[in-house]
């Protein structure tokens, strides 16, 4: 079987990382077309990849007859138009989060895909492919902790790019915990509150950072998140799950750590006492922390597209649900009050 011919749109940090992943590690796929708002950037990268050419118009790149599938690593505000073009061309697309930057356009994308009657869109919520998150999910699903009750999350970035505003902390960063909550608990988030304590003096001017988010789910579960994107330290993403019979912690760079009524062991079962853990190296950015997860995500997506399934992971509905929670989050940030998440029911869109 010949390689899947992929066009990557946007060759900034994430796009270039996906290009390297596909050319160096992904089986059954090649990057054959690149596109970027700055053509020189795309040309420079294409020159390093045998058989790769640059197409300057993103919509032409999507429609090109020699492109089988598309990766969107362009900024969120461009996703809607590019996703609709992928649907129009009938091309499978792996869209980096967010699906789009507002609820109405995300819903429009969900509806257009549903009308086609074929799932073509996967959304880049890569944490679902991270081994530790998978382990946490398995502990919930196999009932190890009985009823899962709540989760505590930490999401810290050393810095953010210029122009990153307070609402982007919600829509660009917190969106991952929104997806993690929906993934782990398998239910929708119904309300969001965001508290902005005193800002970090080293945060960019005007940025409300850190923010503390509180989600409530359909069944009344609680998730809290510290989202702090200007720590100046390192990239730290942690989640602690608490259930009726114990708790488990991920993101310590030590593998999943479980605490249960005796014996207290590391997930590896080597008997190390959790209390003995003192410190660990922390990763500088998402590229290191989630590198293996992106590899799995892209390989599984390529395999799914080659099989004709097109999607193996979160889809357009997950992107829409996340957008709806984030919209409530932005309102909650402005008002300081809990906000109800406004969403249509999935059943109201046949095929979604």
Ligand X SMILES: O[C@H]1[C@H](O)[C@@H](O)[C@H](O)[C@@H](O)[C@H]1O
Residues at the interface with ligand NAD (CB under 6 A): 9-15, 35-38, 41, 58, 73-76, 78, 96-97, 124, 126, 172, 286, 290
- Toward ligand X, which CB reaches closer, 139 or 325? 325
When CB distances to ligand NAD are compared, the closest residue is 12
| Residue 38 interacting partner from ligand X, ligand NAD, none (CB closer than 5 to 8 Å by kind) | ligand NAD
CB of 44 to ligand NAD, least distance (A): 11
3-state secondary structure of 217: strand
Applying CB under 6 A, among 74, 100, 105, 157 the residue interacting with ligand X is: 157
3-state secondary structure of 298: helix
CB of 336 to ligand X, least distance (A): 22
Sorted by sequence, the CB contacts under 8 Å of residue 141 that are 6+ apart come out as: none
Give the single-character DSSP code of 96.
P
Buried b (16+ CB within 10 A) or exposed e, 5-28: bbbbbbbeebbbbbbbbbbeebee
CB of 283 to ligand X, least distance (A): 11
| Residue 199 interacting partner from ligand NAD, ligand X, none (CB closer than 5 to 8 Å by kind) | none
Stretch that binds ligand X, among 112-120, 170-178, 244-252, 291-299 (CB under 6 A): 170-178
Q: In whole angstroms, how far apart are CA 94 and each of 56, 68, 78, 178, 306?
A: 20, 12, 14, 19, 14
- Toward ligand X, which CB reaches closer, 286 or 301? 286
String of contacts with ligand X for each residue 274-313, x by CB under 6 A: ------------x---------------------------
> Could you say whether residue 229 binds ligand X (CB under 6 A)?
yes
Using an 8 Å Cβ cutoff, are 266 and 280 in contact? no
Token pair for residue 139? 């502990």
Using an 8 Å Cβ cutoff, are 33 and 88 in contact? no
When CB distances to ligand X are compared, the closest residue is 173
- Toward ligand X, which CB reaches closer, 19 or 123? 123
Q: In whole angstroms, how far apart are CA 315 and each of 99, 230, 304?
A: 9, 30, 13
Measured CA to CA, the distance from residue 125 to residue 87 in angstroms comes to 20
Binding site for ligand X (CB under 6 A): 157, 172-173, 176, 229, 286
């Amino acid at each position: 079987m010949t390689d899947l011919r992929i066009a990557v749109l946007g060759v900034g940090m994430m796009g270039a990382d996906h290009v390297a992943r596909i050319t160096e590690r992904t089986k059954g796929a090649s990057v054959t077309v690149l596109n970027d708002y700055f053509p020189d950037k795309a040309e420079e990268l294409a020159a390093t990849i045998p058989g790769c050419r640059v197409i300057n118009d993103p919509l032409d790149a999507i429609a090109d007859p020699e492109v089988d599938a598309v990766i969107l690593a362009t900024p969120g505000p461009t996703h809607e138009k590019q996703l609709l073009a992928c649907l129009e061309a009938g091309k499978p697309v792996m869209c980096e989060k967010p699906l789009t930057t507002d609820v109405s356009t995300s819903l429009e994308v969900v509806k257009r895909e549903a009308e086609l009657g074929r799932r073509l869109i996967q959304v880049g919520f890569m944490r679902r492919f991270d081994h530790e998150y998978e382990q946490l999910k398995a502990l919930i699903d196999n009932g190890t902790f009985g009823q899962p009750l709540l989760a505590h999350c930490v999401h810290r970035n050393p810095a953010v790019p210029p122009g990153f505003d307070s609402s982007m902390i919600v829509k660009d960063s917190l969106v991952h915990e929104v997806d993690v909550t929906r993934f782990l608990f398998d239910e929708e988030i119904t309300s969001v509150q965001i508290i902005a304590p005193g800002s970090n003096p080293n945060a960019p001017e005007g940025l409300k950072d850190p923010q503390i988010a509180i989600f409530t789910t359909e069944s009344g579960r609680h998730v809290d998140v510290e989202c702090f994107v200007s720590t100046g330290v390192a990239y730290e993403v942690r989640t602690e799950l608490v259930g009726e019979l114990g708790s488990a912690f991920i993101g310590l760079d030590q593998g999943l750590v479980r605490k249960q009524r005796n014996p207290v062991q590391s997930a590896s079962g080597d008997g190390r006492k959790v209390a003995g853990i003192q410190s660990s190296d922390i990763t500088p950015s998402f590229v290191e922390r989630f590198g293996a997860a992106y590899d799995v995500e892209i390989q599984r997506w390529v395999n799914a597209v080659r099989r004709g399934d097109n999607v193996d992971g979160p889809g357009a509905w997950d992107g829409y649900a996340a957008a709806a929670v984030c919209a409530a989050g932005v309102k909650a940030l402005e008002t300081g009050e809990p906000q109800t998440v406004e969403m249509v029911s999935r059943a109201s869109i046949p095929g979604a």
